[in-house]
Structure 1
């Protein structure tokens, strides 16, 4: 068995790669890591989402942790990933484990490691865990387990409500009274996931969709993308609501629908919240974004004279910057956004509440807030498409692009290249095209941003031509 951690954790299809046996091996390697790093005595926090068998998988990890002498606080119910991260931070635990496959289709489950600072495991950490897995398999390392019932009786494993301290943190960070007083009519779609119940509990009167238990997620991957939020959009229009918020399967990513019932992307959310933090809260700090995130962030940084960091795709890279620098806000195209004064972690629920706070303070809808900013810095349109590509074609394309020679795209002169993660071509007017072959899937992703929707489509077509797809 070869274990590889992706952008955030190890994931696999349940009963194929993600089995109790494989999970036990990964859990043992993780405990070996915590012990070697001197973190075991501080204990471990374990949580899980609402996927098929997630609770049982979490209990198995607790058994392995207890069998290796670690004290465990195991969530007594499903809980958001940011709640587990906050529990690690607040309790001073040595680390945490979250059983979730996030936004992946229902047949998947996954294993996320949280480090003692309350954020996703850094690449340097997951590389070591991968090496320990391989060494343990080669050496026939025994998996040490203590049956859960025995661990509970002996106190090695304790059940706790991971949601309660997290809700208290949200109440401290966000002006809930201001939001409640504004009376913004809203709907929330947790997409059958671990964020169910959290926003309506904090903002009474919020309508919640898809809150029942459904490990199949209604046949839709729990990802808050435009194609998955038709029901939320329709509800906002039909009931004349002010906003719709959507969370992914473990509630660490955010999506939204504006006052017109139109999809409000992560780029737009990033822009609106960054402006809110700067102007309404008076905060300052550097900003971090991934290579596929909107140029609107760049322009706001120029406007407010803020340092901007750009990273490869994956919030783990932003997390590292948040640990080493004074980062006001960091974000990625997929809806993972984090803010200063919390934990170095993306948090869909907190970011949703900050959107409501921005609306409550200004009395404006999301689209109005975005348009106010774009009227100052320029109007931008964005789209990403995912295309199937076989391994040979992907390798040929990578070789071709690495060799250089792409001087014009869609009859436009390339002004700048950025090959930090994929192949990004930037034009004189600020528009850009990113060609990014997936490192783990037979998929080619094309991203484009420009001043008009027509130019976005033109650049995407040109990207397909370059790829021969």
Structure 2
């Protein structure tokens, strides 16, 4: 984009911007003639997709700010009025977390919905993401909006949209809303209504405590065992997020009384002062929780991310200290526990993603349950689960993805870190009642179904230059697809964007049934799986490697794992060498 056009766009933005802070940001860039700063903010825009929008806080269409929120809401409102005839009766649920901008953004959402004649059903205080998703179906709303950037660093925020089924939007709604946003005119043309006027007309309503009570009761209905709860001592942290109060209430109501809270991280704080990144997967994020567990002798550490849609777990390690479980290990434990102990009859359904552990399929098939895989992202899990339920009558038991996302039963049609925390604590209690630990349960899974090991490697590439490099890597892997990796032949390749699978052994090309997505998978002759995909919410490219190791009766888990880890690192290193050559 030419410099003159950048300056024109920035000047027009500053003239409309209702936020003095971002308005000053733009005028300062203009005064300094900071062309690169203008290009980063105005050279492109945040794209609205199936994850809504998420970005760094700041001015311009390529940042998260009040203008972007207002225009997005105007587009959403127009789309709902066109596609949902009774949207003006059903309303839209509005939730928000404790991040910078979240409260103001939620008020802007409600104001613009009211201006379009659509009631805003607003949580009067911070709300965890799973509670917002639950409220959409519970209240019969036409849609839901959650202002959050989940586990991203403090300089981020986002705008997540749920459809009336309580799941994140998928095509064609994402495209339809995006096109409606494109048609939104100047800010002055967007209908708005002040809170006082909207409340007087019934277009701005508070969500009361009945919805929270209904959510907790639904979580309790997912229970499958009840023993051993007095044997489990738990440390919990919400990582400065908004899930703390609800998570503790849920655990206590489920019978867990030996609870210790990381006080330094309990109150919501948008700056996340005790962690570099408020993502429990990141190194150091769980340090305070583990330190408290060591002081108290806790048998279980549970952590939610800031909007409480993810769950992290640590357990005592017999070698000393505590061991963080991977998302795949937690998923395998949930799969085995729920299928082995569920007393209800009928066909059961487990769903996961193409980048999550292949071990879930083995467990599901062992228990006679139906298993299916979808693209990365819980929107695909939730929507596919509802499709299969409608088509077959199967009962959805579990959905999970390796990035610490889990949905137990049908309480929430999105990731639910609070419901998952309750059921994982129940799982630990059931094991303790039989004199077993979580690691004992994992070993049993590995010896029965094989030791599935996974490794994820992420590379952060910021800005427009970083995006260009990510695009170049993916295109390079398509044009120069490796024939062998680490001395092992690539026998099968899948390109989910093009929707094809190529079998190098037979030359056969087959169509894939999943929606198009920028993901590449490579299957090696020894069973190794390697996947490359750009993140949908962060400036990262992610690589996944999975291997399976048979554990002989006379081989220890430690020995089998060590051998598997060597294979993982060797395969990943060879693949990254190929990527660097692109």
* TM-score past 0.5 threshold: yes
Q: Post-superposition shift, 1:442?
A: 5.0
TM alignment of 1:292-441, pairs within 5 A: 292-326=355-389, 327-363=396-432, 364-388=436-460, 390-403=466-479, 405-420=481-496, 421-438=518-535
2:291 matches 1:216? no
User: 2:183 aligned to 129, 135, 139, which one?
Assistant: 135
Change (3 A) 1:288 1:242: same
Change (3 A) 1:409 1:249: same
Per the alignment, in what secondary structure is the counterpart of residue 545 of structure 2? strand
2:203 matches 1:156? yes
Question: Which stretch shifts more, 114-123 or 268-277?
Answer: 114-123
Question: Which stretch shifts more, 48-57 or 425-434?
Answer: 425-434
TM alignment of 1:57-68, pairs within 5 A: 57-68=105-116
Q: Post-superposition shift, 1:141?
A: 8.1
1:121 maps to what in 2? 169
2:545 matches 1:448? yes
1:230 maps to what in 2? 287
2:240 matches 1:192? yes
1:33 maps to what in 2? 79
Distance 1:44 1:436 in 2: 33
1:245 maps to what in 2? 302
Per the alignment, in what secondary structure is the counterpart of residue 361 of structure 1? helix
Q: Post-superposition shift, 1:175?
A: 6.5
TM alignment of 1:42-81, pairs within 5 A: 42-81=90-129
Distance 2:268 2:575 in 1: 41
Distance 2:71 2:397 in 1: 38
Q: Post-superposition shift, 1:405?
A: 4.7
1:9 maps to what in 2? 52
Pick 1 or 2: higher relative contact order, CA cutoff 8 A, min separation 6: 1
Per the alignment, in what secondary structure is the counterpart of residue 112 of structure 2? helix
User: 2:223 aligned to 174, 180, 195, which one?
Assistant: 174
TM-score norm. by structure 2 comes to 0.75
| Contact kept in structure 2, 1:179 and 1:356, CA below 8 Å | no
Change (3 A) 1:226 1:135: closer
Distance 2:538 2:281 in 1: 19
| Contact kept in structure 1, 2:134 and 2:413, CA below 8 Å | no
2:580 matches 1:458? no
Q: Post-superposition shift, 1:222?
A: 2.1
Change (3 A) 1:412 1:235: farther
- How many equivalent residue pairs? 467
User: 2:311 aligned to 247, 254, 265, which one?
Assistant: 254
Change (3 A) 1:404 1:306: farther
Distance 1:391 1:24 in 2: 26
Distance 1:456 1:62 in 2: 49
Q: Post-superposition shift, 1:418?
A: 2.9
| Contact kept in structure 1, 2:243 and 2:306, CA below 8 Å | yes
Question: Which stretch shifts more, 427-436 or 214-223?
Answer: 427-436
Question: Which stretch shifts more, 115-124 or 100-109?
Answer: 115-124
Distance 1:341 1:395 in 2: 37
Question: Which stretch shifts more, 266-275 or 397-406?
Answer: 397-406
| Contact kept in structure 2, 1:222 and 1:248, CA below 8 Å | yes
Change (3 A) 1:441 1:244: closer
User: 1:278 aligned to 334, 339, 350, which one?
Assistant: 339
Distance 1:215 1:461 in 2: 37
2:508 maps to what in 1? none
Q: Which runs of 5+ in 2 are unaligned?
A: 1-43, 390-395, 497-517, 550-563
1:268 maps to what in 2? 329
